[in-house]
Amino acid sequence: MTGLFLGFLLGFIMQRGRFCMAGGLRDLYLFRDGRMTLAILIIITLQSIGLFAFVALGWAKLPGGDFRWLATLVGGVTFGIGMGLAGSCSTGAYYRAAEGLAGSMIAVIGFVVASWVIRQPGGKQLFAPINTPALPDASLMQTFGMSPWPAVVLLTVLTGVLVWRHLKRKSFPVPQPKPRKQGIAHWLFEARWHPFVSAVLIGVIALLAWPSSLESGRVGGLGISGPSAQLFSLITEGKTGFFGWAGYLLIGILAGALVAAWGSQELRLRSPGLPTMVKSLFGGGLMGIGSGLAGGCMLGNTLVNTAWFSWQGWLFIPCILLGSWLVSYFTIILPNQSIKAKEA
C-alpha cells in the first residue's frame, strides 16, 4: 500500500502546487519563463543523488534492457503533440480530472484507451517497424563504462548554479487575497506554493518510490502509463493486474488531488466547450500512443528515467518539446502573427 500513500502525496502536491510540466515547458519557449523547467531539473537532480546512493546500499535496482531510440524519438514527438492539444501531460490530466475539469477527464479517457490499444498484439504489430531498431546500451554508464557519480556531480552543480541565478533575480510581489484560513490549513489549502518547493517534495516522493516499489517486486520509480492500460483491462475484461504497486499509485494520485481540490475549494465541474473537449480526447489518445512507444510518459521518462541517465529519458525531453512547440506554433504563435499583420 506504499504506492497508494506515495500517490496520494504526489496528487496532493501537484494539485496544490499547480505543478503542470506541460505548461512549464510551453512557458519556456513562449514567455521565456524557465521556473518550471528548473523545478523539473531539481526533481531529477534530487532523485539522481538519492537513487545511486540507494543502489550502492542495495535499496534499489536500476532497470535493464536496450535503448529503442526510434520508438523514443517518434513516441516523444507524438506525446508532445498530444500534450499540446490536451493542454497538459498525462499526469496533469489525472489531477485536473480529479478537481472536476471535464476536458481533462476526456483526455484521461483518451490516454487510458490508447495506452491499452498500443500494448495489444495488433498495436504491437502495427508499430513493430518503429519498436524494432535498438541500441544495446540503455544508459550513459553502460555506454562509457563509467561510474554514475561524475555525471551526478555535474548535474548537481548545473542545477545549483541555474537555481541560484534564478533566485538572484529581482522578483515582483504578487498580490494575494486576504487569508481565510489559519495555521497549517492556510499552508496546505490556501497559500501559493513556489514551484521549487513543490519540486523538492516531488523529488523526495520520486526517490522513495524506488525502494517502495522494489518491495513488491517491481523495478522502477514513478510511472502511470502501464497502470493506465491495466485500468482499461480491469474495466473491460475484469483483469486484476491493475492492483499492483503502480495501480495503487494511480489511485493515490486521484485521491490526493481530489482532497487537495476539495480543501482549497477548487472542486467543481467545469466544461471548456465541445471543441476543446474533442482536442483533449485526441490529445489524450496521442499521449497514450506516444508513451507506449517511448516506454513512459512525462512522469516516467522526464522525471524518472533521466535520473539514472537513461538515453531514453534524455532523448524524450527534446522530442516532447518539439511536439509541443509544433502545436503552440500552429495554434498560438501563427494565429497571433496573422492578427498583428492584419492590424499593421
**pLDDT tens digit sequence for 99-140:** 999 999 999 999 999 999 999 999 999 999 999 999 999 999
pLDDT at residue number 172: 65
In this structure, is residue 88 part of a structural domain?
A: yes
Measured CA to CA, the distance from residue 137 to residue 312 in angstroms comes to 10
pLDDT at residue number 173: 67
In this structure, is residue 198 part of a structural domain?
A: no
Query: In which residue ranges of the chain is pLDDT below 70?
Result: 172-176, 344
Q: Which residues span the domain enclosing 239?
A: 2-167+215-343
Helices 245-263, 195-214: crossing angle, 10 deg rounding: 150
Q: Which residues pair with 67 in a beta bridge?
A: 135
First to last CA, the chain: 61
pLDDT at residue number 342: 77
In this structure, is residue 118 part of a structural domain?
A: yes
pLDDT at residue number 174: 65
In this structure, is residue 39 part of a structural domain?
A: yes
Given phi > 0 = left and psi -120 to 50 = alpha, else beta, which region is 212?
alpha
In single-letter form, the type of residue at position 166 comes to H
Given phi > 0 = left and psi -120 to 50 = alpha, else beta, which region is 202?
alpha
Q: Which residues pair with 135 in a beta bridge?
A: 67
Measured CA to CA, the distance from residue 259 to residue 31 in angstroms comes to 32
Measured CA to CA, the distance from residue 87 to residue 92 in angstroms comes to 9
In this structure, is residue 183 part of a structural domain?
A: no
pLDDT at residue number 336: 82
In this structure, is residue 176 part of a structural domain?
A: no
In this structure, is residue 306 part of a structural domain?
A: yes
Environment class of 77 (CB within 10 Å of its CB; exposed 0-12, middle 13-18, buried 19+) = buried
pLDDT at residue number 344: 66
In this structure, is residue 321 part of a structural domain?
A: yes
- Report the number of distinct structural domains present in the chain: 1
Model confidence, pTM: 0.93
Residues in Cβ contact with 119 at an 8 Å cutoff, skipping those fewer than 6 apart = 229, 292
